[in-house]
Amino acid sequence: MSRAFIDSSSVAQAYDNWTNDALLERLWGEHIHLGFYGDPPRRRDFRAAKHDFVHELVRWSALVQLPPGSTVLDVGCGIGGSARILAAHYGLDVLGISISPAQIARAQALTTAELAPRCRFAVMDALDLQLADQSFDAVWSVEACPHMADKQRYADELLRVLKPGGRLAVADWNRRDASVTPMTRLERWVMRQLLDNWAHPEFASIESLQANLQLSPYAAGMVIETGDWSRATLPAWVDSILEGARRPAAVLGLGPRGLLLGLREIPTILLMHWAFATGLMRFGVFRGQKPA
């Protein structure tokens, strides 16, 4: 079945399938994002690197300064891996939202009864948040933007729900700015695969998403700072594949279908590695504090 982006329901369908077949969770755990290996990168267990990624983004974006009990919206929360760390480790009160009903059901199932009152989940479209203006102390969004057809609307919604004085933490897969360095024929072909295989309508560049955020009518004069974590996250691509060899039972336990599902993802993962290693893609991070 094709996973080319059609609309947000095609994204929901893709994540419902990834969640229901259980392969990604069995292989990669509760986090559907890259790991943080440091810069220069050092050898690290893949799952530990994913945890480090969350802690590093909390530190870099200064969410670590939020007092316990502060409210955080996690936009595109997957099956809740980051939300649970934010609630359990930092004492934050988190609402995670995803377009995928299967992910939200799984996120709720993985959250202990003890944590559940401070770590809630709901099906919601990031481009149409059913949430009041200025209602969260922080907004967190990791690797969700590649699925957004309207990047300006995504930026506007993140900032609309952020309180004055609130903090923003975003991580994104970004493309090189093609208006500065046009793509070669090979790069255009690779880019098409990266878009169509994983339900991505388009990637923003670091510069264009920074402008989307900073020029949003809801930014209220906010300054958005960016970083490039391409080197620090690059080993995660190859690790994503090697996990299959390290945990063969995770794949083989699902029978021949598990093997086929795993093999299907390998070409796109290798192309992602190539694109991030050569600079066609960049791993952008974005932070800012809304003026009080």
Residues that bind ligand SAM (CB under 6 A): 8, 11, 15, 31-33, 76-78, 81-82, 97-100, 103, 125-127, 142-144, 147
Toward ligand SAM, which CB reaches closer, 115 or 183? 115
Short-list 130, 128, 133, 170, CA closest to 149 = 128
Nearest-approach distance from CB 160 to ligand SAM, in angstroms:
14
Toward ligand SAM, which CB reaches closer, 250 or 272? 272
Phi-psi region of 213 (alpha: psi -120 to 50; beta: other; left: phi over 0): alpha
Toward ligand SAM, which CB reaches closer, 81 or 235? 81
Residues across the chain: 292
SS3 at position 139 = strand
Under a CB-based contact definition with an 8 Å cutoff, are residues 168 and 75 in contact?
A: no
Nearest-approach distance from CB 125 to ligand SAM, in angstroms:
5
Nearest-approach distance from CB 66 to ligand SAM, in angstroms:
19
DSSP string, 206-254: HHHHHHHHHTSTTSTTPPPEEEE-HHHHTHHHHHHHHHHHH-HHHHHTT
Show the tokens assigned to 92.
């934050």
N- to C-terminal Cα separation, the chain: 48
Nearest-approach distance from CB 244 to ligand SAM, in angstroms:
18
Toward ligand SAM, which CB reaches closer, 33 or 176? 33
Cβ neighbors of 222 (< 8 A, separation 6 or more) are 159, 168, 213, 214, 288, 289, 290, 291
| Tally of helices (H runs) and strands (E runs) in the chain | 12, 7
DSSP string, 72-122: EEEES-TTSHHHHHHHHHH--EEEEEES-HHHHHHHHHHS-TTTGGGEEEE
Query: What is the distance between the alpha carbons of residues 86 and 223, in angstroms, rounded to a whole number?
Result: 24
Toward ligand SAM, which CB reaches closer, 59 or 186? 59
- By CB atoms closer than 10 A (0-12, 13-18, 19+), residue 214 is middle
Nearest-approach distance from CB 185 to ligand SAM, in angstroms:
28
Toward ligand SAM, which CB reaches closer, 122 or 238? 122
Nearest-approach distance from CB 265 to ligand SAM, in angstroms:
13
Toward ligand SAM, which CB reaches closer, 77 or 139? 77
Toward ligand SAM, which CB reaches closer, 100 or 226? 100
Nearest-approach distance from CB 103 to ligand SAM, in angstroms:
5
Nearest-approach distance from CB 31 to ligand SAM, in angstroms:
5
